[in-house]
Amino acid sequence: MNMPDARTCLEHLQSQKLQKLQDLPKDKRGIYALADHQGNIRYIGKTASPAESFHKRINQRHTTGSENYSHKFSSYYNVGRIWCGRKSGAANADETLARKVRQAMIRRHCRAAYIAIDDHHAGLAALEAEIIRLAPPEMRHWNNIGSQLAIQTEPEDLVDQAIRELGLGSQAIPALDRQAALFARQTRSGFDRRLPMPEMASLNPLGSIFPIPDEDYRFVALDVETANNSRGSICQIGIACVRQDNSIHTASILVNPLDQFHPYNVKLHGISPDMVADAPTFPQIMAHMQTVLQRHIVVQHSSFDRQAIEAASLKHGVAVRKITWIDSVAVAKRAWPELKHAGGYGLSNLSSFLGIAFSHHDAGHDARAAAEVVLMAERKTGHVTEE
């Protein structure tokens, strides 16, 4: 069958009555739109395969999926009492409860629209892309891979309603309050990737995909994740820009590595092929990011990130200009020699020792943690990084 017209599809998504998530069809697939608890469409997507229905895609992926930003409802409502740390695989009892309440709230108040298309083939991706292109910005807010999704304040009334409807006992209150306290601590640190980024600056023609304000920083920290054991298979880049007052601007972006994903790597960082299918490639990103790297000292934690940038540049034919690298492992060894026989200088052990909260193997979080390590080492030793 021929694919329907993109503009007609968009108009249909805008005009049709939004459906409850549990009422979505289990035998149809095609194009869909997700609406928040206020009935505003925020995302346009497609089912991934002929075997995946609207009901499965939206209820299992977007609603009960992890807090990864490809799971739109889970990511957007990851806030306050229903907050959970991203990729916390072995969830504790508090997190399990928080997710249960969040999912109940989403199913009760969020909605979806859909256009059933029987012929599920390659043309569906092109149709999806054209609908997204035509849609007004507010309808595709969650489509921006680099977008920081989380709602700013917890919808307290809706959460309270979900707690009542689930029939949770009094023991649930302190557990959810503990999650709210953890969320508040993340927010105060400015570390949580779900917080909105500052206004986009003219330096970055990639726009909101990779927001790096055009400033003179003290230094920047960089981290990458890879799709497989090849250092050139970069699938995520994170950058933490340390301002003159030592505040930190963090940004991250998914990268299409144009390479295969190994299951071990997917399990490690949670990034899968479908998440990067529409992401920019390494050459596209480096065309704009390289200026930032050239102008500043670049912190890496061990030599892996420098080697990955060099390998990806060679792989894609990108000419790399001179970058001044420093290793935060060496910085940490000077500041805390006692850790040599107390867990070592891996980023996870250092962060635990220094009280840095982060989600390991997320490039944005790892870059931020490396920058924090350097700043704390400066305070400990009195040595200034730029010297």
pLDDT reported for residue 173: 87
116: enclosing H helix or E strand: strand 111-116
In a domain, 319, yes or no: yes
**Helices and strands (DSSP H and E) totals, the chain:** 14, 9
- The parent domain of residue 97 ranges over 6-189
In a domain, 198, yes or no: no
Instruction: Verify that 168 and 223 share a domain, yes or no.
Output: no
Instruction: Verify that 315 and 234 share a domain, yes or no.
Output: yes
Measured CA to CA, the distance from residue 135 to residue 244 in angstroms comes to: 39
Q: What is the pLDDT along the chain (387 residues), one digit of tens a residue?
A: 567 889 999 999 999 999 999 999 999 999 999 999 999 999 999 998 888 899 999 999 899 877 766 788 888 898 889 988 754 444 578 888 999 999 999 999 999 999 998 766 668 888 888 999 899 888 888 876 444 556 667 888 899 999 999 998 777 888 898 888 887 766 544 333 333 333 323 233 344 445 677 789 999 999 999 999 999 999 999 999 999 999 888 888 889 999 999 999 998 888 899 888 888 899 988 888 888 899 999 999 999 999 999 999 999 999 877 899 999 999 999 999 999 888 899 998 898 888 887 677 888 889 999 999 999 999 988 887 766
CATH (domain of 372): 3.30.420.10
Burial class (CB in 10 A: 0-12, 13-18, 19+), 195: middle
pLDDT reported for residue 309: 95
Provide the number of structural domains found in the chain.
2
Instruction: Verify that 24 and 120 share a domain, yes or no.
Output: yes
Q: Give the residues across from 242 on adjacent strands.
A: 219, 248
Instruction: Verify that 67 and 121 share a domain, yes or no.
Output: yes
Instruction: Verify that 333 and 262 share a domain, yes or no.
Output: yes
pLDDT reported for residue 291: 86
Give which of 176, 182, 186, 178 is closest to 156, Cα–Cα: 176
pLDDT reported for residue 223: 95
In a domain, 373, yes or no: yes
pLDDT reported for residue 277: 86
Instruction: Verify that 29 and 151 share a domain, yes or no.
Output: yes
SS3 at position 267: helix
Instruction: Verify that 243 and 108 share a domain, yes or no.
Output: no
63, two tokens: 């609603």
End-to-end Cα distance, the chain: 66
Measured CA to CA, the distance from residue 62 to residue 107 in angstroms comes to: 11
Mode of pairing for the β-strands spanning 297-300 and 324-327: parallel
Cα 199–chain centre separation: 18
In a domain, 338, yes or no: yes
In a domain, 197, yes or no: no
pTM beyond cutoff 0.95: no
Instruction: Verify that 146 and 20 share a domain, yes or no.
Output: yes
In a domain, 79, yes or no: yes
pLDDT reported for residue 67: 75
Last residue of a domain, one of 141, 162, 189: 189
Write the DSSP assignment of 130-184 as a string of letters.
HHHHHS-GGGGGGG-TT-----SS--HHHHHHHHHHHT--TTHHHHHHHHHHHHH
State which amino acid sits at residue 245: D
Instruction: Verify that 66 and 164 share a domain, yes or no.
Output: yes
In a domain, 87, yes or no: yes
Instruction: Verify that 128 and 266 share a domain, yes or no.
Output: no
Instruction: Verify that 160 and 257 share a domain, yes or no.
Output: no
pLDDT reported for residue 87: 47
In a domain, 1, yes or no: no
Instruction: Verify that 254 and 167 share a domain, yes or no.
Output: no
